[in-house]
């Protein structure tokens, strides 16, 4: 386990250096790629998560430009990425973001109460 953590840390540090050097070019390139897809997966997530109760707390890890937060103003979306592309994004190494289990504060652990969409984690407000 320790060897895996060390390797993950080295990879994370290497990625941080690359992203810092690129100055956000990753997000630009990703946006260009998505524009060629027939459907943007984030739009599917937004459509699905809109049906969740108002105030649902969502953690979007590797959020890019925080499109999930922009598309879900009725919810509390915490957006994390290695580079803060805008004011909605918290720049960080997501490996260091403290997370509770989805719905852990509410004692719920049912599929209807919890959703995982890509790298998003949702917990219903109750």
Model pLDDT, residue 96:
75
Q: How many CA atoms lie within 13 A of 58 on its CB side?
A: 32
Residue range 25-48, pLDDT digits in tens: 777 778 888 899 999 999 999 999
Model pLDDT, residue 51:
93
Which of 64-68, 86-90, 122-126 bottoms out in mean pLDDT, i.e. has the lowest?
122-126
Mean pLDDT score, 72-81: 93
Model pLDDT, residue 5:
59
Mean pLDDT score, 68-91: 92
Task: Give dist(CA 34, CA 32) in Å, integer.
Answer: 6
In sign, the C-alpha dihedral spanning 57, 93, 96, 34 is positive
Residue range 49-65, pLDDT digits in tens: 999 999 999 989 888 89
Model pLDDT, residue 52:
93
Does the pLDDT of residue 110 top 80, yes or no? no
Task: Give dist(CA 18, CA 87) in Å, integer.
Answer: 22
Does the pLDDT of residue 72 top 90, yes or no? yes
* β-bridge mates for residue 120, sequence order: 60, 117
Long-range CB contacts (within 8 A, 24+) of 4-8? 8/95
For the record, the structure tokens of 72 come out as 């879900």
Give 111 or 98, the one with higher predicted confidence. 98
Task: Please check whether residue 106 is in contact with residue 113, taking contact to mean a CB–CB distance below 8 angstroms.
Answer: yes
CA nearest to 83, candidates 28, 10, 45, 9:
28
For the record, the structure tokens of 105 come out as 């504060």
């Amino acid at each position: 386990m320790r060897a895996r953590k060390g390797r993950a840390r080295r990879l994370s540090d290497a990625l941080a250096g690359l992203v810092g050097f690129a100055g956000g070019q990753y997000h630009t390139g990703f946006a260009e790629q998505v524009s060629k897809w027939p459907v943007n997966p984030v739009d599917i997530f937004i459509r699905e998560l809109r049906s969740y109760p108002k105030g649902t707390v969502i953690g979007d890890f590797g959020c890019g430009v925080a499109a999930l937060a922009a598309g879900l103003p009725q919810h509390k979306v915490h957006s994390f990425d290695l580079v803060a592309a805008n004011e909605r994004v918290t720049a960080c190494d997501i490996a260091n973001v403290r997370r509770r289990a989805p719905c852990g504060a509410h004692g719920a652990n049912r599929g209807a109460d919890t959703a995982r969409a890509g790298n998003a984690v949702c917990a219903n407000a109750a």
